[in-house]
Structure 1
Amino acid sequence: MNTTITCRNARPEDVEALYELIQGYAEKGIMLPRSREALLRHIDSFIVAEESGRLIGCGSLFRLGTDLVEIRSLGMADGYKGMGLGSRLVDALIEEARRMGVPKVMALTYAVDFFRKNGFEIVDKEIFPEKVWTDCVHCAKQHCCDEIAMLKLLA
């Protein structure tokens, strides 16, 4: 990473790059797909990382209740893993949760070590009925979910 990477709020013109990045993960079965229309509808919930005008990472917050948000669609372009970009995106999303006044941030993930490194702890999925009834009820893996629930309480 020789050039400057910046994190910023996503804009409507980022939709196509967001779609392509998320679709790459979705095709591997490690992220839920998002339509361009859904991305545009929820563009205000996304933070993106950019290098030399190119979108190289993203993440979003989804409100599940008055005291809980979920980190969703956290990913980065090939070649940027292990360089701290994911942690920068999580930090930006945590700051946004603080700004919103939300004390709990959760994630469903396969990247347990990454989220642990960023201050999250493994918890039981069942403590998030908001998530279960919002998304899980429609998921093909509903009865055999292999993702790990993680939670960070904000001070």
Structure 2
Amino acid sequence: MSVICRKAQPNDVDALYELIQDYAAKGIMLPRSREALTRNINNFVVAQDGDKFVGCGSLLQLGSDLVEIRSLGIADGYKGQGIGSRLVDALLEHASALNIPKVMALTYEVHFFEKNGFHVVDKEIFPEKVWTDCVNCPKQQCCDEIAVVRMIEPAKQGEQLSFAQI
């Protein structure tokens, strides 16, 4: 397997849309329109095995010191191979390069995030998230996702964001 992690490109929108819609249909990820994906393409990283799209994740800046990992998903047949952790590492590098020290996520996969250095916290400590996405979520009044957070070090001056092979 020669999976690489890289910044998303505009020609990735359809593949991003299909993977995210698959998760959204299962009720475990919020759907994203092609237009929204196109507008936010610079916030996405993708995992690719040859010419096959196998995973994605993105960052959303919620405040001057807070970003959210969102739309993190792996294609069927590629789960359990460390690709999700590699995508998270790339997103953490991106947050570090932006000098944002706090990275959060809302998830059903708590063990995965704990394995990647995150800690469970009360989701009400993130009013930025509540007013960004939660107000439009059908599960707003009965949210069953768990909030996780990880503190990271900002990048040293001159460090570049890099996406390594995974």
TM-score range, shorter chain: over 0.9
Deviations 1:22-51 (A, max 9, x none): 010000000000011110010000000001
Match of 2:26 in 1: 28
TM-score by length of 2: 0.91
Match of 2:71 in 1: 73
Deviations 1:9-34 (A, max 9, x none): 00000000000010100000000000
Give structure 2 stretches of 5+ with no counterpart: 154-166
* Mapping for residues 7-86 of structure 1, pairs under 5 Å: 7-86=5-84
| Corresponding residue to 2:88 among 87, 90, 95 | 90
> Match of 1:80, SS?
coil
Structure having greater relative contact order (Cα 8 Å, sep ≥ 6): 2
Tell me the C-alpha RMSD between the 2 structures.
0.6
> Match of 1:143, SS?
helix
| Structure 1 moving runs of 4+ over 3 Å | none
Give structure 1 stretches of 5+ with no counterpart: none
Match of 2:146 in 1: 148
Match of 1:124 in 2: 122
The CA distance in 2 between the partners of 1:53 and 1:100, in whole Å, is 29
> Match of 1:131, SS?
helix
Letter in 1 for 2:110: V
TM-score by length of 1: 0.97
Match of 1:102 in 2: 100
State the identity as a percent. 68
How far has the Cα of 1:119 moved from its partner? Answer: 0.2
Number of aligned residue pairs: give it. Answer: 153
How far has the Cα of 1:116 moved from its partner? Answer: 0.2
How far has the Cα of 1:94 moved from its partner? Answer: 0.3
